[in-house]
Structure 1
Amino acid sequence: MKNKTEGRELEILVDGLSFLEQVRCWELEHCPEPALAGEYAAYTALFTTMLERCNSGQIAEIAVLNCTCGDAFCWPLEAQMETTDQHVIWSRFVQPHRRDTWTYEGFGPFIFEEENS
């Protein structure tokens, strides 16, 4: 993850590519409402705090992207996050408001190496 200091937003990069743009491209191709594809906002520093509180061996459901309005429950993209001593793994993505019609099967998993501070 790359931390943008201005505005204290986080831009999530996967292999140097914007995670948000990867989501947008997936949704454009696989989800039936293209006008809503990629309609998510970058996270604030609070997202980093949430990740830091996860212990090795935990599996949790988290919102990896938020709605552009800032409300965490309005339009999140959720995923299962698993932590190990060496990795953080995001998988099993879901748009909870379109659970029956939007599919993320084949999207991810995304594996991040754990950094030792």
Structure 2
Amino acid sequence: MVNGIEFFHCPWDDHPAALVWGARVDGVDLRALTAWATRELWRPELAGQFEDQERESAELIWRQHGGLGVLDFTENPFLRTAGRTPLLGCPCGIWQCWPLMARVAVTPTTVTWSGLHYPEREEWGELPIGPFVFERTAYEASLSAPAVLAEDPLGPVPESLGCVP
């Protein structure tokens, strides 16, 4: 199965004049896919941490990532194939703080993201999302002309994300 990909730039919440990279896989923001994939992994770490446990846990998980700063890279980050490639960064603006990493494999016809994981949570292992296989021409076309959005498209935390009872 081939996945759809859309890259975009949107303002960084803390500095609206600064743009970050984002991605949608099959029409869904990668940050949303990651939130759903990690909510149960977060459960033991977040238990008892907040006054309004369910709401605050869901908010932290939903907003655990920002995009990748547009100026952070001298080359496009999504075409690196040596070692691990960052797909998402920390909302603080320093992507290395909480990166979502993946292996990126490029063939003449496809680009594949696999082995999505967090270096800071090696005990979580590979996340239960992906691999994602994209048609290379569509991938490169979206990279070369990312949509520029007026605001972050992630939106509010969905009620159904309820993470910690």
Pick the TM interval, shorter chain: 0.7 to 0.9
Q: Which residue does 1:37 correspond to in 2?
A: 61
Within 5 Å, which residues of 2 pair with 1:36-75? Answer: 37-38=61-62, 39-46=64-71, 49-52=76-79, 54=80, 58=81, 60-75=83-98
Within 5 Å, which residues of 2 pair with 1:1-117? Answer: 1-4=6-9, 7-32=18-43, 33=45, 35=57, 37-38=61-62, 39-46=64-71, 49-52=76-79, 54=80, 58=81, 60-100=83-123, 102-115=124-137
Structure-2 separation of matches of 1:31 and 1:43: 22
Distance 1:3 1:110, change over 3 A: same
Q: TM-score, normalised by structure 1?
A: 0.76
**Which runs of 5 or more structure 2 residues have no equivalent in the other structure?**
1-5, 12-17, 47-56, 142-165
Residue 63 of structure 1 and its aligned partner are, at CA, apart by 1.2
Structure-1 separation of matches of 2:9 and 2:94: 21
4+ residue segments displaced more than 6 Å: none
Root-mean-square deviation (CA), in Å?
2.5
- Quick check: which one's helix share is greater? 2
Q: TM-score, normalised by structure 2?
A: 0.57
**Count of aligned residue pairs for this structure pair:** 112
**Which runs of 5 or more structure 1 residues have no equivalent in the other structure?**
none
- Quick check: which one's strand share is greater? 1
Residue 5 of structure 1 and its aligned partner are, at CA, apart by 5.8
Q: Which has the higher contact order (CA 8 A, sep 6+)?
A: 2
Residue 59 of structure 1 and its aligned partner are, at CA, apart by 5.2
Query: What residue identity is the alignment partner of 1:24?
Result: A
